[in-house]
Structure 1
Amino acid sequence: MAKILKIENLNKSYKSGSKNIKVLENINFEVEKGETFAIVGPSGSGKTTLLGLCAGLDNPDSGMVEIAGTDLRLLNEDEKAALRNEKIGFVFQNFQLIPTLTAIENVAVPLELRGDKKAVEKSRKLLEKVGLGDRLDHYPSQLSGGEQQRVAVARAFSNSPEILFADEPTGNLDAETGGNVIQLLLELNQLSNTTLVIVTHDMELAQKTENILHIKGGKTSGVSKNLRP
């Protein structure tokens, strides 16, 4: 199968005063198109830093990130932004909705930025898919945490991304609500034939994906396959 994400010899460090702190060391893995993939590790293990590098939100010290056949080293920041807009979706732990926009407006924004004349119609359908057809005109402050994350999931799928990155998508939700959001994410992912990469410290959530990359102290111990029924 085709590889949608390819990571080779990735290294990243940060300066803290006079010290150089290594966050990621010699990371290698591949994700196939259409698969579900979890990056798992304890707090401070480098998971979120790795996700940012995979999505081109930050640059590594060395190594290669390739998305959909494009080597990010060959792109400038504007070209990376265009790639993200065209091929990548995001779901974050803290929802990142625009507080002054309604649910339907939050979902429509990425589509409108692309000049899609059917932005509102598509956004309505997506919100109906995530069970929020009756909450279209509600502002984030009028929605529960679970409902806000559903809006965020709908927005993430609005540009039909080839790959979707989810950073601790259930981190701010209780167990039951989080479980429902993950189920929704996996169902929409299957319907859209998107590749889903989830960063989490929750092994129960990770086990719902096809493959798991284990990371600890900035190093990986390889990818394990999930033997799901």
Structure 2
Amino acid sequence: MSKILNVAHLGKTYTSGSKQLTVLDDVSFSIDSGETFAIIGPSGSGKTTLLGLCAGLDHPDAGTVELSGVNMGSLNEDERARLRNEKVGFIFQNFQLLPTLTALENVVVPLELQGAKNPTKIGKELLGKVGLTDRMHHYPSQLSGGEQQRVALARAFSNNPAILFADEPTGNLDQDTGDRIVQLLFELNQEAGTTLVIVSHDLELAQKCNYQLRLRGGKVISNEILIEN
């Protein structure tokens, strides 16, 4: 099985006044294509920073990230953006929908930007899969938190990403709504054959993944197989 993500000796340090804050320290791991992978740890352990570096949203101070065989450090910003558009999907805790666009438009616009054929048809099919056929012409302000996250799910899978990064995908949702989102996320992921990387403090959610990486104080304290394929 090919590696979709290779992270080697990753480090990230921020300057705060006269102090240096090391957020990630010598983090290494790899993920096979099609795996589900959880990154867990307490607040401040470096989870979200690690996710951003893996997705090429930020630059490490040390180490390398290879995404789909490409060293992210060798790319300029335009090349990084192109690689993300082609290979990566995102789901965020705060949904990040465009408020002036309807649910359907939020899914369709990225497809149009990528030059997809029949983007409206694809958008409607995806919203149907997440149970929002009757809500697709509503704006984000007219949707509940769970409905907004379902739109975000549909959008994330719209470009058939090779890898999907989900940052606390249930963090702003109640238990029942969060459970439904998790179920949809894994169903869509299995159907699409996407590699799924979830950052979460929710241990129950993490247990659903094949692999689990545990961070504490910016360091890897465990990396274990939970479910054999």
TM over 0.5, shorter chain? yes
Alignment map for 1:140-219 (pairs within 5 Å): 140-219=140-219
In the alignment, what sits opposite 2:92?
92
1:134 match: secondary structure? helix
Conserved in 1, the CA contact under 8 Å of 2:211 and 2:227? Answer: no
2:58 match: secondary structure? coil
Structure 2: stretches of 5+ with no match in the other structure? none
Q: Per-residue deviation at 1:227?
A: 4.0
Distance 1:228 1:10 in 2: 27
Distance 2:161 2:41 in 1: 26
1:104 match: secondary structure? helix
In the alignment, what sits opposite 1:105?
105
2:15 match: secondary structure? strand
**Cα distance 1:89–1:206, how it changes in 2: closer, same or farther (>3 A)?**
same
Whichever residue aligns with residue 25 of structure 2, its letter is: E
Whichever residue aligns with residue 202 of structure 1, its letter is: D
Alignment map for 1:35-184 (pairs within 5 Å): 35-184=35-184
The RMSD of aligned alpha carbons is 1.1
Distance 1:222 1:28 in 2: 11
In the alignment, what sits opposite 1:24?
24
Q: Per-residue deviation at 1:223?
A: 1.0
* 1:198-220 Cα shifts (integer Å, max 9, x gaps): 00001000001110000010001
Distance 2:228 2:142 in 1: 38
Distance 1:52 1:212 in 2: 18
Q: Per-residue deviation at 1:228?
A: 7.7
Structure 1: stretches of 5+ with no match in the other structure? none
Distance 1:190 1:196 in 2: 9
**Cα distance 1:227–1:111, how it changes in 2: closer, same or farther (>3 A)?**
closer
**Cα distance 1:228–1:8, how it changes in 2: closer, same or farther (>3 A)?**
closer
* Moved segments of 4+, more than 2 Å: none
Whichever residue aligns with residue 54 of structure 1, its letter is: C
Distance 1:44 1:178 in 2: 23
Aligned sequence identity (%): 64
- Normalising by structure 1, we get a TM-score of 0.98
Number of equivalenced pairs: 229
**Cα distance 1:119–1:25, how it changes in 2: closer, same or farther (>3 A)?**
same
Q: Per-residue deviation at 1:30?
A: 0.5
**Cα distance 1:227–1:116, how it changes in 2: closer, same or farther (>3 A)?**
closer
Distance 1:61 1:69 in 2: 20
In the alignment, what sits opposite 2:4?
4
Q: Per-residue deviation at 1:222?
A: 2.7
Distance 1:107 1:132 in 2: 12
Whichever residue aligns with residue 81 of structure 1, its letter is: A
